[in-house]
Amino acid sequence: MVKYKEKSASETEERILEAAKHEFMRFGIEGTSIQQIADAACINKSLVHYYFRTKEKLFKRIFIEAFSSFISHVEDIINRDISFQKKIEQIIESYIDLLKNNSYLPGFIIHEVNRNPDRLFELIQNANIKPQKIINQISIEIEKGKIRKVDPRHFFINVLALCIFPFIARPLLQRIFFNNNEKNYMKFIDERKKEITEFIIQSIKS
């Protein structure tokens, strides 16, 4: 008689996942060896194969999770029952918070998507991304005269750009503007929430 398995992933399994995430995020799939992951997890190399079969499978697991956390956030807020302006504020606030805790997330996704665009194909269908929703909401605000006439797609991309870019370009910006001082850069990022919000609100005043 077989008991209910998988009641919880074994500790080693989770250690591997965490180590893999850490390494993949920084160095990409090509820049990360299984040995490297094993070392980071303080386990034997073969265990990685024991739990995840192949590097590709392990990578996919990490990638899908990362990708989901990257886009589901926005989807979530868009569906909330609050004013348009509040939505903008919350998207900015929560997106920046997410990225503060996952600095490498956007760069990771972008690199891997560039390296192998096919990966997206399957993923986007599963993820069921519907940008139309946010686009429509913006259009409605324009019709109501609440904001000036802007292309909703451009506007949406602008919001994303302003939030995400400082993290993607962090090594550069931190060094150039803050003498590579991490704390100061993070303070700057926090200020940014207010700054971006004002910037955007001002830019769409009708």
Partner DNA sequence: AATTAATTTAACCATATGGTCAAAAATACA
Partner DNA sequence: TGTATTTTTGACCATATGGTTAAATTAATT
> Is residue 163 part of the contact set for DNA (CB under 7 A)?
no
- Size of residue set near a copy of itself by CB under 8 A: 50
> Is residue 136 part of the contact set for DNA (CB under 7 A)?
no
> Is residue 202 part of the contact set for a copy of itself (CB under 8 A)?
yes
Q: Which of 56, 175, 182, 190 binds a copy of itself (CB under 8 A)?
A: 175
Q: Are 192 and 91 in contact (CB under 8 A)?
A: no
Q: Which of 14, 56, 122, 182 binds DNA (CB under 7 A)?
A: 56
Cα–Cα dist 121/197, whole Å:
33
Q: Which of 148, 181, 182, 184 binds a copy of itself (CB under 8 A)?
A: 148
- Size of residue set near DNA by CB under 7 A: 20
> Is residue 131 part of the contact set for a copy of itself (CB under 8 A)?
yes
- The least distance separating DNA from the CB of residue 9, rounded to whole angstroms, comes to 9
Classified as helix, coil or strand, 57 is helix
In the region spanning residues 7 to 46, those forming contacts with DNA, defined by CB under 7 A, are 10, 12, 32-36, 43-46
Q: Are 71 and 129 in contact (CB under 8 A)?
A: yes
**DSSP line for 120-182:** HHHHHHHHT--THHHHHHHHHHHHTTSB----HHHHHHHHHHHHHHHHHTHHHHHHHHHTT-H
